[in-house]
Amino acid sequence: MPESKLTAPDAPQRPYTRTVHGDAVLDPYHWMADKADPELIAYLEAENAYTDQETAGLDGVTEAIYEELKARTKQTDLSVPTHVTHTDGTSYWYYSRTTEGLDYPRSYRLPATSRDAIPDVTTAPAGEELVLDAQALAEGHAFFSMGLAQVSPDGRRLAYSLDTSGDERYDLWITDLATGETLDGPISGIGAGGAWAGADWIFYTRVDDAWRPHQVWRHHLLGDEPDALVAEEPDERFWIGVDDSRDHRWVLIESSSKLTSEVSLLPAADPTATPRVVADREQGVDYSVEVAPDGLWILHNAEAPQFALSRAPFSATSRAEWELVLPEDPRRRLTGVSVYERAIVVEHRTDGLPGVLVLSRDSAGNVGQTLELQFDEVLYDVGAEEAPDFDTDRFRFSYESLVTPPSVWEYRLDTGDRRLLKRTPVLDDPTRGPYDPDAYVSERLWATGLDGTRIPVSLVRRRDTPVDGSAPGLLYGYGAYEVPTMPYFAMSRLSLLDRGVVFAIAHVRGGGELGRPWYEGGKELTKPNTFSDFVEAGRLLIADGHVAADRLMAEGGSAGGLLMGAAVNLAPDLFRAVHAVVPFVDPLTTILNPDLPLTVMEWEEWGNPLADPDIYATMKGYSPYENVRPVPYPALLITTSLNDTRVEVTEPAKWTARLRDTVTNPADRPILLKTEMVAGHGGVSGRYKAWKERAFQLAWLLHQVGIDA
């Protein structure tokens, strides 16, 4: 007899009432907060089985897109070698190599005699040394993620950390690069980062029960003394991190909240010294420190909402000792700084696009002429890469766009010349031929928000895709934490564009595309702007004829998943299909519970609904889980991971159950939940598994708009 067809899972309901500020809310799926509940695991497995059944017909298109991804990608490839001079005087070129058929890269180094001529390491040259074999470390693990991977300042040792479950707790190991011998470890259950102090000490972070990095510890390699606590952050709004300066002379300890930061310095030559604060924290003052041989360079928003650059002596302990170098420009958000003997390189975002400023320096270190790097494309993403050596005469920058693959360029500080070092190749597609960037067109559109604010939208399509209201389109968005979504290149996107799909990014408020005011216009009480901006961007695509009214898709993940949920509640008839990735769709329940991972740290982003009735009302008004309506919704694919500590699996599971209870979708608009049972916030690990999963997601979206080949 044929197998019986599965029906959509019906999650059990258990009575529960949440009462806050006198508001009583029934939540029959609150029980899903217990991830150890066998009934939740059974429900997730039942949803996976149902999704597998309902998407079985997509296997052919999924496989076709997967093969396109593999065909376009140069699977055996190299990074551009980077020159590093160690404290013992030795110099190496460091690079990584991917190999066809293997998921993870291997890292190597080659002794260097000069930094002028980048060596050809296409095939393993004589003298090549293996630094880290991620493929070997990943063997036997269903999930694998690297945290720290850092060579000691003298070049003799390697510190690396691994997460093999997706919960972002790492194990740290130390190896001898000459012999490959494991010298120390594991130091278990720690945070992702770390820093060397000389060749014999390593600093690392530990996380508390809320997954907040809250302590910095010091470990002496091969020493008998126990690890020592160096710094602890008691304020639950803040997390703590540790790094070392580019010249390896200082250890930097930074405590940060969403809006405020405080940096301390510790001399690497004296690892047991007490850290010294550069400037005491002030609520709302956010600063970072670049340590150079000639002092401290500080990027900050003190009396400068879009950030300014100041300098200070090593001995500085207060903001009064900062000297302004580059004042704030209200149109330009400064985002990063790297200081060299010959120049200062400053990254920024202006009018929704990133940029790089080069500030020349004379022999006395004084700042002179300012030069802005110029680019030909209308839309692009660019970022300066930090050169290891202070006395360098060059630095590199990365560049890409919606049609230009990721590229590495070198800029000469002495001449102003630039040269292309590498552009990620796009190989010929066996069925579609070679990649031709001129076959595509990108442009900037402007939607109008409900309050009249102009919302930038970045769009790319094939030149031969008609702009007559007939094309399918995919609108992407994020809009939180002042994180910008730049016009980036994606190999997988070509499989959409070549099938006639228009792709667009809505740069909604809450992100960082237009600087700090843009962020502040989409957080806390103004958060609803984020969602209405996205809806208006979608309506613009239809009104301008870029996308058919019945073929608009949407996609976003994490806080962008919240965006998806809120947008479909606002305008359920606008979208044909939505892919919500690890979606933060029950934000009020989460932010009301300070015992959950990361909640207290999030109060400066969303507000504190426990203490503020207005924040509570605002969040209740946009929470996707609490505002599902009994009307037809788009088809929904909801993807998540069991071990995600940033957005608990509880949220998408509850949302799925409530959608099924409430919406009135026809059979051709399914609601599907797919859970990775061994993965974290970033989904599956390993490039081939990630490509296969992305191919499935795109195949599902395409099917919803009538494309099945």
Distance CA 137, CA 171 (A): 12
Tokens of 327: 């004042």
* CA-based end-to-end distance of the chain: 32
Pure H helices in 454-545? 494-497, 516-520, 528-543
- 38-54 vs 650-662: helix crossing angle, rounded to 10: 60
Residues 6+ apart with CB under 8 A from 195: 150, 202, 203, 242, 243, 244, 251, 252
Kindly report the CA angle at 504 between 502 and 505, in degrees rounded to 5?
165
Residue spans of beta strands (DSSP E) within 257-303: 261-267, 276-277, 287-292, 295-300
In this structure, the chain runs to a length of 709
How many CA atoms are closer than 13 Å to the CA of 321, on its beta-carbon side?
14
Dihedral angle computed from the Cα positions of residues 78, 84, 90 and 91, in that order, rounded to the nearest 10 degrees:
50
**What CA–CA distance (Å, rounded) separates 540 from 537?**
5
CB 421, CB 392: distance < 8 Å: no
User: Alpha-carbon distance 425 to 32, whole Å?
Assistant: 45
CA–CA separation, 478 and 471 (whole Å): 23
Nearest Cα residue to 644 out of 44, 7, 27, 196: 44
Q: Which two tokens stand for residue 277?
A: 């604060």
Q: Parallel, antiparallel, or unpaired for β 182-197 and 239-244? A: unpaired
Residue from 300, 546, 681, 703 carrying the catalytic annotation: 681
**What's phi and psi for 135, nearest 5 deg?**
-60, -45
Q: Is 442 helix (H, G, I), strand (E, B) or coil?
A: strand
Q: Clarify whether 558 is annotated catalytic.
A: yes
Contact 614, 608 (CB under 8 A): no
Least Cα distance to 437 among 448, 449, 429, 426 occurs for 426
For 32-48, b where at least 16 C-beta lie within 10 A, e where not — what string? bbeeeeeebeebbebbb
| 650: Cα separation from own chain's centroid | 22
Out of 245, 558, 641, 685, the active site residue is 558
Q: Using an 8 Å Cβ cutoff, are 290 and 250 in contact?
A: no
Does residue 507 have an active-site annotation?
Answer: no
Q: What single DSSP character describes residue 509? A: B
* Side chain identity, residue 25: V
In this structure, the strands spanning 635-641 and 671-676 are: parallel
Q: Which residue has the tokens 């400068």?
A: 304
**What would the DSSP string read from start to end of 633-675?**
--EEEEEEETT-SSS-THHHHHHHHHHHHH----TTS-EEEEE
Find the Cα–Cα–Cα–Cα dihedral 560, 531, 623, 525, rounded to 10°. 110
Catalytic residue of the set 167, 243, 586, 644: 644
Residue 139 exposed, middle or buried by CB count within 10 Å (0-12, 13-18, 19+): exposed
**Positions of E strands within 327-430:** 332-339, 343-350, 353-361, 367-372, 381-385, 394-400, 407-412, 418-423
In whole angstroms, what is the distance from residue 644 CA to residue 585 CA? 14
Give the catalytic positions in this structure. 558, 644, 681
